[in-house]
Amino acid sequence: MLPTPDTSHVAYERVYEPAEDSFLLLDTLSSPSETSFLQTRFYVSPASGTPTPPEPLVVEIGPGSGVVIAFVTAHASTLLGTRNILTGAVDMNAYACAATTETVRRAVTSNPATASMAFLGAVQGDLVSPLRDHSVDVLIFNPPYVPTAQLPSREELPDGGRIDTENAFDEDSYLLSLSYAGGQDGMETTDRLLDSLPRVLSDRGCAYVLLCAQNKPEEVKERARCLGGGTWKVETVGLSGNQAGWEKLQIIRICREM
Amino acid sequence: MKVLSLNFLTCAVKTCKTQSDSYPLHPKDAELVQDDIELNEAFLINLLPRIDWKALSTTATELGFPALPSTPPTPEDLRADAKTLRDLHNLLLETQMVEGKLVCASCGHEYAVREGIANFLLPSHLV
């Protein structure tokens, strides 16, 4: 088992605390089948005589505490075969961006032999909107997946806070609601992310997206296979042990056919 | 945020995505800090093919760094030229922008950078 990044510095009253979903992502990304997939897709040993492909860019959308992207950054060579990867994150919550930066810093310091030194930073933004076309090689998304009657507004949050008081959320509970409230079927935000994959993923790109049973995973997978009119390979690559609960979780991997 | 990140970021306004002058974003009133990171030659050589060199040259000049060569160095150039290697390492990986703004030349929107975090959330009229 690879060590889980330290998040003891994170203020959980306004940033999502690592939970079963986060840990399922860590277990999946470090499973033998996924490390094998990632290394085959993104790494060529210099000894093979084949030119090494450019460093992959791994971006987590909605990192919260940063536990997942810190795990990938700190254990880069174990997961992707090389320390030479780029990592970054986008979150709507400024506190989450700051927490992520610190979680990555700590995890890299604790794992100097395997860590990437190229964490680009965390920026505040709505999903992939600040990212350049076809720039991302591995995208990771633990969405707000809980079905709710409405979605929190996602207008600009000056200084990470919120001026609008139309809804009943106070600032902290508003920020937390962003991390779980998924609207209709818990899919309103995930659907927007899926629709943006053809634009933001590179030719060799792939995305890991977490779903719960109420998201109707089989229907989501079917939709993802023809994103943007293209052909995508979509597989379930991680399942939570908690098979009985309503929050039964799975991780799907969506990739361009290469 | 590392200077390298500016090579991957663009204006968040949807209608700017198709405008060539929305990239790269232009740093304004930038406050920079330097980290001390061990130089990794293989990393830099391998990174160059995925760098938009023209955008990087613009960013470097606007941040007050010496002008970059007009064409990207080849792997052989870099192996033979320790100074260029070190300068690129310093610019891309050791330099962080901690305060200031990033400006889109297409729509003019200014994204604030505070404590190393750029805010790409848009006011409602631009979403």
pLDDT tens digits for range A240-254: 866 565 558 999 999
Q: Cβ(A156)–Cβ(A224) under 8 Å?
A: no
Could you read off the pLDDT of B24-45 as tens digits, one per residue? Answer: 999 999 999 999 999 999 999 9
Angle among Cα A107, A111, A113 to the nearest 5 degrees reads: 150
| The predicted structure's pLDDT at residue A153 | 78
Q: What is the mean pLDDT of residues A53-68?
A: 96
* Contacting residues of A for B23, CB less than 8 Å apart: 132
Note whether A120 contacts B: Cβ–Cβ < 8 A.
yes
Q: Which of A88, A155, A159 is nearest to A126 (CA)?
A: A155
Q: What's the mean pLDDT when you consider all of chain A? A: 91
Per-domain residue ranges of chain B: 3-126
Residue B8 has pLDDT above 90, yes or no: yes
Asked whether the predicted pLDDT for residue A162 surpasses 90, the reply is no
Q: How many other β-carbons are positioned within 10 Å of the β-carbon of residue A254?
A: 23
Pairing mode, strands A232-239 and A249-256: antiparallel
Q: What is the pLDDT of residue A152?
A: 85
Q: Would you call B6 an interface residue with chain A, using a CB distance cutoff of 8 Å?
A: no
Q: Is the dihedral of CA A126, A129, A132, A134 positive or negative?
A: positive
CA distance A149 to chain B (A): 22
CB contact under 8 A, B17 and A133: yes
Query: In a mutagenesis test of the A interface, which of B3, B8, B111 is the best target, namely the one with the most A β-carbons within 10 Å?
Result: B8
pLDDT band at A24 (very low <50, low <70, confident <90, very high): very high
- Asked if A84 has any chain B CB less than 8 Å from its own CB, the reply is yes
The predicted-structure confidence for A124-159, as pLDDT tens digits, reads as follows: 999 999 999 999 999 999 999 888 988 887 765 554
Q: What is the pLDDT of residues B60-109, one digit of tens each?
A: 999 999 999 999 999 999 999 999 999 999 999 999 999 999 999 999 99
Contact A155 B123 (CB under 8 A): yes
A126 shares contact with chain B (CB less than 8 Å): yes
Mean of the per-residue pLDDT values of chain B: 96
**Is pLDDT above 50 for A5?**
yes
Share of chain B above pLDDT 90, in %: 96
What are the start-end ranges of the H helices in chain A? 20-29, 32-42, 67-74, 76-80, 94-110, 171-180, 188-200, 217-224
Query: Given this model, what pLDDT does residue A257 score?
Result: 82
pLDDT mean over A26-36: 97
**Rounded Cα–Cα distance for residues B28 and B26 (Å):** 6
Q: Which CATH code of 3.40.50.150, 3.30.200.20, 1.10.287.3510, 3.40.190.10 fits the domain covering A20-40+52-256? A: 3.40.50.150
For B3-126, CATH gives 2.20.25.10
Q: What is the pLDDT of residue A58?
A: 98
pLDDT tier, A50 (very low <50, low <70, confident <90, very high otherwise): confident
Tens-place pLDDT, residues A172-219: 888 888 888 899 999 999 999 999 999 999 999 999 999 999 999 999
Count Cβ–Cβ pairs < 8 Å, chain A vs chain B: 110
The reply to whether B4 touches chain A by the CB within 8 Å rule is: yes
Laid out side by side, the sheet with A232-239 consists of A119-124, A86-91, A57-61, A136-141, A201-212, A249-256, A232-239
Tokens of B36: 């001390």
| pLDDT higher than 60, residue A166 | no
What whole-number percentage of chain A has pLDDT above 90?
A: 73
Please tell me if residue B10 touches chain A, with a CB cutoff of 8 Å. Answer: yes
Cβ contact, residue pair B117, A123, below 8 Å:
yes
CB contact under 8 A, B119 and A122: no
In chain B, the DSSP E strands lie at: 26-34, 95-103, 110-114, 117-118
Q: Does B46 touch chain A (CB under 8 A)?
A: yes
Contacts of A76 (CB under 8 A, 6+ apart): A82, A83, A84, A85, A87, A114, A115, A116
ipTM computed for the complex: 0.97
- The helix (H) or strand (E) run that includes residue B92 is none
**Helical (H) or strand (E) element with A163:** none
pLDDT-derived band at A163, boundaries 50, 70, 90: very low
Which of the residue ranges A96-100, A116-120, A225-229, B1-5 would you say has the lowest mean pLDDT?
A225-229
8 Å CB contact of A124 and B121: yes
**pLDDT for the residue A242:** 60
**Whether the Cβ atoms of residue A194 and residue A224 lie closer than 8 Å to each other:** yes
Task: Kindly state whether A102 is in contact with chain B, defined as any CB-CB distance less than 8 angstroms.
Answer: no
A57 touches chain B (CB under 8 A): yes
Dihedral of the alpha carbons of A80, A86, A87, A92, in degrees to the nearest 10: -150
Tell me which chain A residue has its CA closest to the CA of residue B127.
A155
